[in-house]
Amino acid sequence: MNKGELVDSIAEKSGATKKQADAILSAVTETIIDSVSSGEKVTLVGFGSFEARDRKARNGRNPQTGKKLTIPATKAPVFSAGKVFKEQVKD
């Protein structure tokens, strides 16, 4: 499912227009991105949680040259599915 299909589904299920559903979806995703970027954890009970986790620096290798290199520490976004979401997918 892509964003257009998701907007169509949201509009159908909520009774909103496609334009309203697109605006709502965009606002939700922007809010989650802004919150996680600023270090907050976003939890949607039953669905899951979004957060940024620290990744430690590590040693790696360039696969083309074989040269060893150090990959710097960074933060990465992480999604953890909630209990209801996991159960729904499992069934």
Tell me the per-residue pLDDT of 7-48, one tens digit each, with 9 for 90 and over: 999 999 999 999 999 999 999 999 999 999 999 999 999 999
Give yes or no for residue 88 having a pLDDT over 90: yes
Q: What is the mean pLDDT of residues 72-89?
A: 95
The pLDDT of residue 67 is 95
Query: Under a CB-based contact definition with an 8 Å cutoff, are residues 60 and 68 in contact?
Result: yes
Cα atoms found within 13 Å of the Cα of residue 32, Cβ hemisphere only: 15
β-partners of residue 55 are 74
Cα separation, 65 vs 14, in Å, equals 53
Q: How high does pLDDT run on average in the chain?
A: 95
Helix residue ranges per DSSP H, 1-91: 3-14, 18-37, 83-90
Q: What percentage of the chain reaches a pLDDT higher than 70? A: 100
The pLDDT of residue 91 is 81
